[in-house]
Structure 1
Amino acid sequence: MMKKIFIIISIAVVSIVKAQVGINTTTPNLSSMLDIVSSDKGVLFPQYELVSLTNNTSPVNNPVKGSIIYNKGTGVSNYPKGYFYWTGSAWERMLMNNEVDQILRVQVFGGTSGQPIIIPSGTGNNIVSFNSTGIINTIPGVTFSGGQNITLPAGTYRVDVTLDCYNDSTSVAAFITNYSFFVVNAGIVNTSNTLLTDLKTGTQISGSGYAPGKIQGYKFTYILQLPVSQSVRFMLNHGNGFSEGGNTYANQSGLVATFYKMYE
């Protein structure tokens, strides 16, 4: 008798292991391995505070590609709330349509003549003044019509900045023959010029005082969190290096700053 019961239980266990799983349903959909049915409840994924997007030991040890977690974004995490999936090398946030659509793009036009100075000679801070034309804005609550101050509503933003420029100095010390070492610092500040983000540093070896070797290109990315609506600015300066000998001008593509408002 006990042997028969054991056989029946063993068959049942094997059937359960191989079968589809239905929660709150006895007839799970044939196309799914897991079918959850409810009229008034949802599914809750594991929730963490992400402190690194590339850490493959914490919060999940050796995550499988495609693993999904939810970042609470309320404590030590510097990343916005939302679902993240493991790409195999990093946690990538899942974006919603309204996140991608909500952007502000401002720029400083370059050109082939009469280019504006975006970093004056020396190592002092310079607040960038953006053009009043060419503005793209789909973020409700933004106030900006050109100049230095950009008023943003409260929220979390990813800010991408690209800079196409050149330095006109002919007096800086050469790093190698006819080429010098340039350093550019960049950050987002408030109206008191206090940093709201980390200060990014870009370095480049390029010619100085003659074309075309003097052209430089930089790209900076920030996460900006604003608890309340406030005005922000973009600050540039020449860092410690051989770059303080002349002015830095916007080249043909100029300077472009794009603010992506993240969904929260």
Structure 2
Amino acid sequence: MFKQLLFSGLLFTSAFSFAQVGVGTATPNGSAQLDVESTTKGLLPPRMTASQRGAISSPANGLMVYQTDAPAGYYLYSGSTWSRLATSLDTAPTSTSGYAANTSGSVIAVILGGTDINFPNAQNLSSGITINGANTTFTVTNAGRYFITYKLNTTAALLLNSRILLNGSSLAGSVVSPALSISNFQSNVITDLAAGSTLRVQFYGLIGTAILSGDASISIIRLQ
């Protein structure tokens, strides 16, 4: 009798373990482990801030949450990084962009702490990106993920550094710090920017004069 009860219990446990689950339906779809049906309510995933999402320990590949702070939306873990799922409300990848250049061969008096480069020429800025009156500081209106690239060519090889300042601090990945004198300073970086972030390009680390060769530019493109 005990063996029969044990066998029946194992069968019940096995059936329960592999059974499909239907919410709002008695006949879940054969391809789904969980089938939720409703014409009046939706499915609500876990909601949390970016900081709380980042604190999830060992997230599983395919894990999804809804982030409540900017940039808000559904985030999916791909096994190595979290990615925000794009929606029809998002700005198209290249609809927010900016380009500006310095083609006049400006003379830059470089100081150790840094001298801003001005970009007064060929300015082509979409809505969402502005530049100040000195043509040195770009401001992004919308939070998002941005691709930023700059190049500075000088008439002579110099042993100095270049960088992008994000809100007054060096932006990781943008610094060019050569061991030998060079005349071409170029870098690009992809980074998340908050609304109202400011960007400046600088020469720094040398007290002296740098003369641009007339081929200096910066491009800013919002990816998402």
| TM-score computed with the length of structure 1 as normaliser | 0.64
What is aligned with 2:170?
Answer: 199
In structure 2, the CA distance between the partners of 1:255 and 1:249, relative to structure 1 (3 Å rule), is: farther
Is the 1:108–1:131 contact (alpha carbons within 8 Å) kept by the matching residues of 2? yes
Give the strand-richer structure, 1 or 2.
Answer: 2
What is aligned with 2:60?
Answer: 64
Q: Mapping of 1:1-264 within 5 angstroms? A: 7-51=7-51, 59-73=55-69, 80-101=71-92, 103-109=95-101, 115-117=103-105, 120-123=108-111, 124-126=114-116, 128-129=118-119, 131=121, 134-135=124-125, 137=126, 142=128, 148=135, 153=141, 155-169=142-156, 172=158, 180=159, 182-188=160-166, 195=168, 198-200=169-171, 201-205=174-178, 208=181, 214-226=183-195, 234-240=199-205, 242=206, 244-248=208-212, 251=215, 254-260=217-223
Is the 1:163–1:250 contact (alpha carbons within 8 Å) kept by the matching residues of 2? no
Aligned length: 217
In structure 2, the CA distance between the partners of 1:145 and 1:128, relative to structure 1 (3 Å rule), is: closer
In structure 2, the CA distance between the partners of 1:89 and 1:15, relative to structure 1 (3 Å rule), is: same
Is the 2:138–2:200 contact (alpha carbons within 8 Å) kept by the matching residues of 1? no
Aligned mates of 2:6, 2:119 — CA distance in 1? 80
Letter in 2 for 1:202: V
Ranges in structure 1 where 5+ consecutive residues have no aligned partner: 74-78, 173-179, 190-194
Aligned mates of 1:44, 1:127 — CA distance in 2? 49
Tell me the secondary structure at the aligned position of residue 15 of structure 1.
Answer: helix
Is the 1:64–1:88 contact (alpha carbons within 8 Å) kept by the matching residues of 2? yes
Is the 1:133–1:146 contact (alpha carbons within 8 Å) kept by the matching residues of 2? no
CA deviations on 1:33-60 (whole Å, 9 max, x unpaired) are 211112222222233333499xxxx633
| TM-score computed with the length of structure 2 as normaliser | 0.73
Tell me the secondary structure at the aligned position of residue 43 of structure 2.
Answer: coil
Letter in 1 for 2:193: L
Ranges in structure 2 where 5+ consecutive residues have no aligned partner: none
Tell me the secondary structure at the aligned position of residue 28 of structure 1.
Answer: coil
In structure 2, the CA distance between the partners of 1:143 and 1:257, relative to structure 1 (3 Å rule), is: closer
Aligned mates of 1:143, 1:215 — CA distance in 2? 26
In structure 2, the CA distance between the partners of 1:185 and 1:146, relative to structure 1 (3 Å rule), is: closer
Is the 2:153–2:215 contact (alpha carbons within 8 Å) kept by the matching residues of 1? yes
Tell me the secondary structure at the aligned position of residue 187 of structure 2.
Answer: strand
Percentage of identical aligned residues = 17
Q: What's the RMSD between the two structures over aligned residues?
A: 3.7
